[in-house]
Amino acid sequence: MQKLVIEGGTPLFGEIMTQGAKNAVLPVLAACVLCEGTVHLKNCPCISDRYASARILSALGAKVKTEGNSLTADCTGLSSDEISCYLMKAMRSSIIFMGALLGRTGKCTLCYPGGCNLGPRPIDMHISAMRKMGGIISDEHGVISCSAPDGLKGCRHSLSFPSVGATENIMLAAVCAEGETIISNAAREPEICCLADFLRACGAKISGDGGGRIAIEGVKKLTAPDEAFEIIPDRIAAATYLSCAACAGGELLIRDCAPAHLEAVLPVFEQAGCRLKVFGSNIYIYRKGRLRAADTIRTMVYPGFPTDAQAILMAPLCTAEGTTVFVENIFENRYRHTDALCRMGADIKAEGKVAVVTGVPRLYGTVAEAPDLRGGAALVCAALGAEGISEISGVNYIDRGYEEIERVLTAAGAKIRREAEKLP
């Protein structure tokens, strides 16, 4: 086990290049299952979830090679349609291999996915959609067996909630299904558009992504693109490093970060008193002096304020003058980071969907454990601005979504290092 040791109180200065998006590369990797030929991907983030997806592809019989932020995958000769429970539980988004495998082989066996404990995240919409397209699905003792003996058939889906995962699974199942598929109340996230762009580059017929209605006309097969496909920038990683600067002070230039994907987040930094300048694909942030409280922050589906940024923005607002109210509308269990922030001196009262953050003059270093991916990132942000030294364990959660976060922040002047935890 490892921990991050952070000495707070040092302002940040410099430039940070935005990594490829975690939530975009994972469905694209699943989509490789559908392609003949070798897929070349670039700007793939070097994170543990990416490696977990690559292991699933390898276990299915694909030839996968990685080199830095580049990856190649040749799924032409898949030899298996089963994913072990061990591999499935490594991450939440492993469930999207269901649609890809059913679309490619007409059958698959997998288990319920793992990932961060953020409260109930049922996969009923995924299973219902596959059944509606002709899939026969049984669930015994947590093992899900799927088959489509007559092939998948296009149909109309009206999602009760614009679920990103369900939208992706239906897209993957539909691109090679017979006939037309319509997804109403589809998720609109940039990562959905990235997946659609990749599938189109492989020969799929998709329209409407980025809106609430996606239309897919099934094709006979997909073929790997001739050119390397580039993964979009990670909007949550960009928000995290902006928050690091808001917590620690100083000035940072976040490069290649797709500011248009952050339109719900950037106003919060400005309300808090940070100076922002957006030019091209870059965002400049400057913070000096005490922050101010922001307007009520309500998490919503895209293009609203992202639930993944809730904990990350809470960290700097812990020391803002005034009171900020957070309302979490997506997940039930997304305030698990607040106990650690309170141990650092924050004044947070959380109950149900609401957290009331009353700013304090300063935070203090502490020993804490990352409760999940974004909660762990929030603790890193807070520790950078706190007085004294913090030790944050549970780094495996943070590694799921961030490329060597200590290296990135050290290059910007932070005093942060990774150490092995000593056994008791």
Give catalytic residues, as residue numbers: 116
Determine contact, residues 27/168, Cβ cutoff 8 Å. yes
Total Cβ atoms within 10 A of residue 124: 9
Query: What is the spatial distance between Cα 355 and Cα 270, in angstroms, rounded to a whole number?
Result: 21
- Reduced to 3 states (helix: H, G, I; strand: E, B; else coil), residue 147 is strand
Total Cβ atoms within 10 A of residue 304: 14
Determine contact, residues 54/28, Cβ cutoff 8 Å. no
Of 23, 372, 20, 377, which Cα lies nearest the Cα of 187?
A: 23
Structure tokens at 79: 């030899």
Distances (CA, A) of 320 to 140, 295, 375: 51, 12, 19
Locate tokens 């649609």: which residue? 99
The answer for residues whose C-beta is within 8 angstroms of residue 31's C-beta and 6 or more apart is: 100, 172, 195, 198, 199, 202
The percent helix, strand, coil of the chain (3-state, each to 5) is 35, 30, 35
Strands 136-140 and 143-147: antiparallel
Query: What is the spatial distance between Cα 38 and Cα 54, in angstroms, rounded to a whole number?
Result: 14
